[in-house]
Amino acid sequence: MPASRSVVIGVDSSTQSAKAAAVDADTGELLALGRAPHTVAGSAGARESDPEEWWTALAAAVRTAVREAGVPAASVTGIAVAGQQHGLVALGPDGRPLRPALLWNDTRSAPQAAALATRLGGPASWQDRTGSVPVAAVTAAKWQWLREHEPQHADATTGIRLPHDHLTERLSGTAVTDPGDASGTCWYGTATGAYDPDVLDLVGLDPALLPAVAPSGATRVGTLTPTAAEALGLPRTVAVAAGTGDNMAAAVGLGLGGAGLLDHPVVSLGTSGTVFAATRARPAAPGLAGFAATDGTYLPLGCTLNCTLAVDRFATLLGLDREDAAPGGDVVVLPYLDGERTPDLPHAAGLVTGLRHGTDPRAVLGAAYEGAAFTMLRALDELLAACGLDPAAPGVRDRPLRLIGGGARGRAWTETVRRLSGRPLVVPAADELVALGAAALAASAVTGSDPVALATAWGTGTGALLPPVPRDEETWNRIAAVLAAATPTLLR
């Protein structure tokens, strides 16, 4: 590829790894993908990672992507980071982390979240202000946990960043976030487009500790610092975009804007399972996160903690391959191995019921798939209702779901979602939609063009349509009955 051609880098800094996509900015062709792992530590609800490892992994992944793409470093013109949401990075006077980051799936902050939710007028007021009611995942609850359990670190904190903010600052030297990722903190007002001073007062947080909010994740915030350019092996002239959260970047990669009341509902099967849709409305409902999209429109979302990792754990326990599953039949599994977020059951454990002497282990694994898929699809119904749509109405029930994430490449996942949803599915042909969405943000920072329009032109969200199959109402109703009966116990 000639040096005159523009290559952009989209980084997906997720819970488990950093992935860097080298993308032709003109065509959207994925030239190469670099990867480097992250380490997650903790037990008994704790989930932490060292942000320094995120930086090292990002640099390694970018170098690999550029090398394997076979392009000169001088052809790289822009970079953007999409990061795992909610995590708390507390910085010290030297601008480096004081302690490991508290991750989104760290449930130790559940008591703090519950206490916060009762303040400032209660849950309805939180929804009006921030779009979401505090749960253990959100940054405000994690900051409150740090204040209560590690006051020495809270007192020494001179800056607070989300994971993608921290990496963007390492790249550009600029402390900045975007509306999308900021909306996952519960101290950013989606109604006002600014930090909520009452929430900041409630959690004892000086707004000077927070990054500025750029108009969008595609905003150009600077170029690479000399240190970052050396670490990545790229020119200092590379434009750095503000970046965004991983879910918001996936929406960009799918070409989702806010063009209508509801744009192509999405089910994402990854470490966590999420359901979301782009909309110009500002829906608010209990159990959903009323996120902003990175362009300032809205991305209402439901998130489950237990998705592919939980099902894979069942496969390991049963000694089966992850694809060696059968319909659960009488077996019901609620795979809440790490507590749960939607529904809000942070202290829950997994539950298996309906076993007999003759139960096929493959049916137990299949029931784990069903339990995880049920949780996400029920959250999708709540999302649709919050947007003013009847989930059971024919025109809504017939609307295709876009199935993305690592699980979307698995037969068992795909067939389980088809069976329990009764909907047609579109599985985009492109992999790494978070990184591709970040690449579109990077290209936009270089050219000033609309990132959603770019991703649409690249065709990254297109794929084959899988026709619907009859909805498995019997399995759906069986799981719903078990969850209703078990919820009082799971709440303990």
As annotated, the active-site residues are: 246
- According to DSSP, the residues that pair with 161 across neighbouring strands are 89
Phi and psi (nearest 5°) for 95? 80, 5
- Name the residue among 430, 84, 25 with its Cα closest to residue 239: 25
Measured distance CA(147)–CA(425) in Å, rounded: 45
- Residues 150, 167: Cα–Cα separation, whole Å: 24
Cβ atoms within 10 Å of 296's Cβ, excluding its own: 17
Q: What is the rounded distance in angstroms from the CA atom of residue 410 to the CA atom of residue 322?
A: 9
Tokens 């993305």, located at residue? 404
* Residue 202: strand, helix, or coil: helix
- Which residues, in sequence order, are bridge partners of residue 80? 10
Q: How far apart are CA 264 and CA 252, in angstroms?
A: 12
Measured between alpha carbons, how far is 182 from 291 in angstroms, rounded to an integer?
9
Q: In whole angstroms, give the CA distance from residue 350 to residue 180.
A: 32
C-alpha–C-alpha distance, residues 485 and 492, integer Å: 13
Map 293-356 to HEC letters: CCCCCEEEEEEECCCHHHHHHHHHHHCCCCCCCCCCCCCEEECCECEECCCCECCCCCEEECCC
As a whole number of angstroms, the distance between CA 141 and CA 110 comes to: 7
End-to-end CA distance of the chain: 59
Q: Are strands 176-177 and 212-213 parallel, antiparallel or unpaired?
A: parallel
Nearest residue to 407 via CA among 289, 317, 301, 325: 325
Q: How far is residue 463's CA from residue 459's CA, in Å, rounded to a whole number?
A: 9
* Residue 357, C-beta contacts closer than 8 angstroms, at least 6 positions apart: none
Q: Which residues pair with 311 in a beta bridge?
A: none
From the CA atom positions of the chain, what is the Rg in Å? 21
Q: Are 190 and 291 contacting, i.e. CB atoms less than 8 angstroms apart?
A: yes
